[in-house]
Amino acid sequence: MLVHNLYKPFEIEYLEIETCPVNEHRHTFFELIYTFFGKGVQHVNQQTLNYYPDNMFLLFPQDVQHFICTEKTGFLFIRFNEVYLTSQKPRDDRGGLGDWAAKMEYIFHNTPHLPGCILREQADKPLVRALLEAIRRESAEDRSLHREVLQQLINTLLTIVARNISLLGQEERQGRGQDLVGYIHQHIYDPERLKAGALAAHFHISLNYISEYFKKQTGESLQQYITRYKLKLVETRLQYSDLRINEIVSELGFTDESHLNRLFKKYRGMSPSAFRRQIHEHAI
Report the CATH number at residue 54: 2.60.120.280
Q: Are 181 and 218 in contact (CB under 8 A)?
A: yes
Print pLDDT tens along the chain (284 aa).
677 777 778 899 999 998 877 778 877 788 999 999 999 999 888 888 899 999 999 888 778 888 999 999 999 999 987 777 766 665 555 445 556 666 666 666 655 556 688 888 888 999 999 999 999 999 998 888 888 899 899 989 988 988 887 776 554 444 455 678 878 888 888 888 889 899 888 888 888 888 888 888 778 888 998 998 899 889 888 887 888 999 999 988 898 999 999 999 998 899 999 999 887 776 55
What are the DSSP calls for 165-219, one per residue? HHHHHHHH--HHHHHHHHHHHHTTT-GGGGSHHHHHHHHT--HHHHHHHHHHHHS
The SS3 call for residue 88 is: coil
Q: Which of 199, 259, 198 lies closest to 234 in space, CA to CA?
A: 259
Residues 99, 85 share a domain: yes
Rounded Cα–Cα distance for residues 222 and 76 (Å) = 41
Identify the domain containing residue 199 by its residue range: 175-283
3-state DSSP call for residue 26?
A: strand
Find, among 32, 23, 30, the residue nearest to 5 by Cα: 30
User: Residues 149, 249: one domain?
Assistant: no
- 142 and 199 in a single domain? The answer is no
> What gap in Å lies between CA 167 and CA 161, rounded to an integer?
10
183 and 137 within one domain = no
Both 19 and 156 in one domain: the answer is yes
- Give the residue from 137, 172, 207 where a domain finishes: 172
Domain total of the chain: 2
Can you point out the beta strands (E) in the chain?
A: 2-4, 10-17, 25-27, 30-37, 40-44, 47-51, 55-59, 64-69, 73-80
Question: Are 151 and 67 in the same domain?
Answer: yes
Torsions phi, psi for 243 (to 5 deg): -60, 140
| Final residue before a domain boundary, out of 122, 147, 172 | 172
pLDDT of residue 174: 46
Do 103 and 121 belong to one domain?
yes
Say if residue 202 is in the same domain as residue 138. no
- For position 227, which CATH number holds? 1.10.10.60
145 & 16 share domain? yes
Looking at the fold, whether 7 and 147 belong to one and the same domain comes out as: yes
Q: Is the domain of 154 the same as that of 135?
A: yes
Please state, in angstroms and rounded to a whole number, the distance separating the CA atoms of residues 156 and 162: 10
Instruction: Name 62's Cβ contacts closer than 8 Å, sequence gap at least 6.
Output: 26, 27, 28
Final residue of a structural domain among 116, 150, 172: 172
Q: Residue 173: its pLDDT value, please?
A: 45
Residues 47 and 85 in one domain: yes
Sheet holding 64-69, edge to edge: 2-4, 25-27, 64-69, 40-44, 47-51
